[in-house]
Structure 1
């Protein structure tokens, strides 16, 4: 590569990402309030600056390959069948089955957030169509809306489910440094801070403020 160094390659990679078209250009029609509410189920998982929380497409800029890699690396999903099986599992037993055995509480919100996130990623990766992604999201609405009465309740159960999942990873890893979270996903403190931001009534960018919990209980309308 001659005189090219790591810094140069990283800068080129960043430039390449920012040259990609915005998701809002490819999908310019604003979501209805119901649609935004359904997309917002994945908001706790969507922490990075590249994440889009107001479009069905999960990223701010079009990058289908990124979603394909993410699904393969994080979930071993590379086909439509594998995606459908994982969604069925999250909608059915999911991680909350273990939490219920341990705590007597089944935090549906953790599985619902992952379900919504994977549905959006599957759409971006081309494993399901846009219509199929919306159908998948609609399928989980009754159970979520029937379980919780606010985004705060949803957030509390999400954090509980995440903690059980993360503690399970720590226990199974047996790695040096597991006690302080080394080698594990983002810390609980990071997740806590993200949820506080989503719940902050002064955060105008929060999708939970743009689509309050009760909107799903009323007839849909444009935003």
Structure 2
């Protein structure tokens, strides 16, 4: 095992810093970002984005993938994703507006913003709550959400063709397999099974 991996796995576990389990509503909101979080280091049941405390990775990811290096840039990117995002291009090309793709990215970015200290925990929850109404109005199940996520991903990936980043996206097969695992009713670790779609429509509760 390389030195970098040893250092990563000796970092404190996220639950040692944030031991209180998310409520049902909180887990549902975090789960909107589950399609993006394919890496085994990703946490899908905490607001903090990783299974181990790694603020530098959260900061580096925002800078490298999104050119987000300040609160102002973070707020601007979240606002753009909530208002139009990639779905504006999809609407123009396909006549369909896949909100799920933008919502998943929105949640992922907000969590990383919290993870590196760019925003507070309270601000991160406020950001996640802001995206909930439009998502609930648009979809009736995690299956519908997953279908639109994949559609949005395809439009995004097609837009990268011919650029220097064309080799960056993970293979479509990897995204498909990840979503199948999230939707698999036998997958007890799937946050979508831990927080079914209608969870957000019922009173919040401790888990």
Query: Shorter-normalised TM-score: what interval?
Result: over 0.9
Deviation at 1:218, TM superposition (A): 0.5
1:113-137 CA distance string (max 9 Å, x none) = 0000000000001110000000000
1:203 to 187, 195, 201: 187
Aligned equivalents of 2:62, 2:148: Cα separation in 1: 24
Match of 2:48 in 1: 57
Task: Report Cα offsets for 1:93-150 as digits up to 9, x if no partner.
Answer: 1000000000000000000000000000000011100000000000000000110000
State the number of aligned residues.
207
Q: Are positions 1:213 and 2:197 aligned together?
A: yes
Partner residue, 1:173: 163
1:41 correspondence with 2:32: yes
| Deviations 1:138-195, CA, capped at 9 Å, x for gaps | 000000011000000000000000000001101x4279xx6xxxx2310111100000
TM-score (norm 1): 0.91
SS in 2 for 1:16: helix
Using the alignment, how far apart are the partners of 1:168 and 1:26 within structure 2? 39
- Structure number with bigger Rg: 1
Partner of 1:187: 171
Question: What's the Cα RMSD here?
Answer: 1.1
Partner of 1:88: 79
Q: Distance in 2 between matches of 1:115 and 1:69?
A: 17
Structure 1's consecutive aligned runs of 4 or more residues displaced over 6 angstroms after TM superposition are: none
> Is there any run of 5+ residues in structure 2 with no aligned partner, and where?
none
Which of 94, 99, 115 aligns to 2:106? It is 115
Rounded to whole Å, the distance in 2 between the matches of 1:85 and 1:77 is 9
**Normalising by the residue count of structure 2, what TM-score does the alignment of the two structures yield?**
0.98
Counterpart residue number, 2:21: 30
Q: Give the alignment partner of residue 141 of structure 1, picking from 120, 126, 132.
A: 132
